[in-house]
Amino acid sequence: MKSMKINNKMGQKISASLIALFMLLASFTAILGSQSVLANGDTPPSIDVEKTVYDPETQTWVKSIDAHMTDIIYFNITYTYHNSTYQSLEHHLNETTVTDLLPSGLQYINANPTPQSTIGNVIVWHLIGYPDLLDGQSFTILLGAKVIDCVTSENYANVTGIEHCTGLKVYGESTATVYVPASLDVEKKVWNPDADNGQGAWVDELPYVIQTQNVLFQITSTYRGCGLMKCFVVWDELPGECLQYADNVTIKIAGRTISPNDPEYPEIIVGEGATIDICGHQEPVPANTVIWDWRNRIVGISDNQSVVIEFATHVTQYCECGAPVVNTAHALFWGCMSCGPCSYLHDDDTVNVYCCPPPSRFTKQVLDGQTWAEQTTAVVGDLVWFKLTFTYHGDDHVNSTIKILDQLPDCLGFTGGYGVFHSSDIQLVDSSGDTKTMWWNFTGNLTESQTISIQFSALVTNTTECCEGINTATIWVRNATGSLVFESLDTASVIGIANTPPSRPVLNGPTSGKVNDVLTFTVGSDDLEGDQVYYILDWDTGIFFPVLGPFAEGVTRPISKAWTTAGTYHVRAKAKDTHNAESDWSFNTITVVITGGEQPPQGDNITITLVTVKSSGVTATIKNNGTENGKLINWTITVEGKLFFTRKNVETIGNVTLNATKTADITGPSHAKRFPFGRFTITIVADAGVYGKATAIKTGFMLGPIVRVN
């Protein structure tokens, strides 16, 4: 015996036919049953059934909607009971059964209340135990389904029940329809680099163009349907009065970027004079139109896939700014190579472009760290840098005159230092009269996108507690006839704060050691303004306080020291910042006991030769004249300066290891910045303990870069 197989869609059609037959028989049965128990003239009980589908666009329940593949659809099944002519409260509807037959293009997802059975696309509710309905009362079922096929058909629902007391059967039915047509959605966008807070975005309208920059467009054609689309033609009608196709095309099909060497890459046709075959007719391509033609390419897209074209246009000229030019994109999609484009899907979209220049722009900024900003914080005595920038947009202006006025607040003073940066040779005239007001005058031709930038420095002379640290700049631009074509004002502000010295250093280290032992101490200090700090160490040697740094504030630094003579030493430290503000001495003083007894007589194996003194620093050569290798030699270079009645000292400390007969060069600090003129004494000590010790002393006079050594 042969078995018979029925495909799913055929089975669903048979099920639908059976349900329809069942509905018809049920209605006849209900009518016949009612007639058997009702007296002449009595009205039988009835059920009104209303099935609707939710339309998300109008947010209403309707009888039919258009949907797409994978959409989620919601149905509402509401039935209302009407009593027979018996008006007793005992008469009510119970033992209700609701049956819903989804079309083959929909798949059941869920429902409220939950059905008792779901066989294929037949969903059944046996509403026993639910509240019984009295005359005029209603009950609602919500049903969710997913679109899985392009089949368009009605969705049936029927309700059967029994009226209590009379035992009469009631029946009602209703339908709602879901259409799943194939569709094409074309969306055109233009790139606005200033949108999204300067990040740039694809938008529907571009408020300006710039002649030196391209305008970018994007055309996205999205297909929805069950078939495979194999032929596409996309074309774009550019506004020829100001935009011209400039190539630079990027094409994506179904999310994949297509290169010109790929078989899916289209033929690109640029009008004027070109023609294209549409429905067997050679149609001329309008001027300034670009066509991307896939008719003779191996390509295809399916449901919810897109063809994306991004291309550039060149701005040929500026137009009137009152009204935008309309840029329209079209697309034709159809299914197979043998199908003519007369049975195609079509859609189009437009963007608006204002072919006028953006407004010219004038800004004032202040340097905050490494970034130009609207505001910065600076310490009294600091230099701050400002930048004025003017960018011109529009038609060329011959012999234009630009005047820029900059006004500093009382807590700032112009230092006279400035630089000018511009895109063409424009003469600068500085007519500043004092330290608070500066004028910059320019005369020359202005061209599209030309930028002029001025940077200048100002000294913070007071805190902003005493004045409002807002710096204002104004620009006036006039053409050759003297007419004002641009005027703008902008500000930048400086918060001036008083400098505070670093905190008293935290000093830690050993309390004992031996002669010539290298002992390590740590020192650290914080600075409220974040300035770098120098450390001044008092080693209790009776000679001077060495200055070390600069170092980052808030960071503990290791510092080493070796004493060559036994004894008790009291070590302390202080810090100063880059503004020369010094802290007090450290809270603690470390007492260090150095032992080692009497030192044996030192040898003469160490010598110092070739001492050179310049304004840039001190150099000397140390030599191991002995016969022992690997000798550690500690050295110091001390510069003692005398400037009238003041004394300034600076020291460099180091060590070097030398083999027998070898030499090493050592370098001391630059002292030109410490005392640019006056007398000085330089002491160089090279100490290898009992192996040998050498001392060299140089005196002289300094006048700036001129150094005389006695």
Predicted confidence (pLDDT) per residue in 339-359, tens digit: 565 678 889 999 999 988 888
Kindly indicate the confidence band of residue 572, based on its pLDDT and cuts at 50, 70 and 90. very high
Give the 3-state secondary structure of residue 393: coil
Residue 36 has pLDDT above 50, yes or no: no
Higher-confidence residue: 556 or 413?
556
Among 231-240, 278-287, 415-424, whose mean pLDDT is lowest? 415-424
Structure-derived torsion over alpha carbons of residues 607, 610, 615, 617, reported in degrees to the nearest 10: -40
Residues with Cβ < 8 Å from 634, sequence gap 6 or more? 516, 562, 564, 653, 654, 655, 686, 687, 688
Of all residues in the chain, the percent with pLDDT exceeding 70 is 85
Mean pLDDT of the chain, nearest integer: 83
Q: Does the domain formed by 606-709 have CATH 2.60.40.10? A: yes
Q: Answer whether residue 482 shows pLDDT above 70.
A: yes
pLDDT in tens, 640-658: 776 443 456 778 888 999 9
Q: What integer is the mean pLDDT of 101-128?
A: 92
Parts of the chain belonging to CATH 2.60.40.740: 183-353
pLDDT attached to residue 173: 95
Who's near 197: CB < 8 A, 6+ residues apart?
none
Q: Is the pLDDT of residue 471 over 90?
A: no
pLDDT on residue 42? 66
Q: Are 331 and 225 in contact (CB under 8 A)?
A: no
**Rounded CA gap, 162 and 166, in Å?**
8
What is the average per-residue pLDDT within 12-22? Answer: 43
**Is residue 464 predicted with pLDDT exceeding 80?**
no
Strands 375-379 and 412-422: unpaired
What is the pLDDT, as a whole number, of residue 382?
84
State the pLDDT confidence band at 187, using cuts at 50, 70 and 90.
Answer: very high
Per CATH, domain 361-497 is 1.10.10.10: no
The sheet that has 547-551: what strands, in order across it? 512-514, 590-595, 567-577, 533-538, 547-551
Residue 444 in tokens:
């020359």
Find the mean pLDDT for residues 427-451.
74
Residue with tokens 């009269």: 433
Class of domain 183-353 as given by CATH: mainly beta
Q: Which of 400, 392, 396, 325 is nearest to 355 (CA)?
A: 325
Nearby residues of 664 by Cβ (< 8 Å), 6 or more positions away: 621, 622, 633, 656, 658
Contact 169, 331 (CB under 8 A): no
Say what percent of the chain tops pLDDT 90.
Answer: 35
CA distance 554 to 566: 34
For the whole prediction, is pTM greater than 0.75? no
Cα–Cα distance, 74 to 58 (Å, whole number): 14
Decide if pLDDT at 1 tops 80.
no
Say whether pLDDT at 248 is over 60: yes
Mean pLDDT of 451-463: 85
Q: Where in the chain is the domain with CATH 2.60.40.10?
A: 506-595, 606-709
pLDDT tens for 606-641 read 888 888 887 778 888 999 988 888 889 998 988 877
pLDDT tens readout for residues 48-73: 999 999 999 999 999 999 888 889 99
| 438-442: Cβ within 8 A, 24+ apart | 438/405, 438/406, 438/408, 438/414, 439/403, 439/404, 439/405, 439/406, 440/388, 440/402, 440/403, 440/404, 440/406, 441/401, 441/402, 441/403, 441/404, 442/400, 442/401, 442/402, 442/403, 442/404
Distance CA 26, CA 30 (A): 6
DSSP SS3 for 357? coil
What's residue 648's pLDDT?
61
pLDDT at 20 over 50: no
Q: Which CATH class is domain 506-595?
A: mainly beta
pLDDT at 75: 96
Q: What is the pLDDT of residue 298?
A: 84
Dump pLDDT digits (tens) for 690-705. 888 888 888 887 776 6
Per-residue model confidence (pLDDT) at position 670: 61
The CATH number of 8-179 is: 2.60.40.1510
Q: What residues does CATH 2.60.40.1510 cover in the chain?
A: 8-179
pLDDT in tens, 199-213: 999 999 999 998 888
* Residue labelled with tokens 């004079």: 273
pLDDT grade for 23, boundaries at 50, 70 and 90: very low
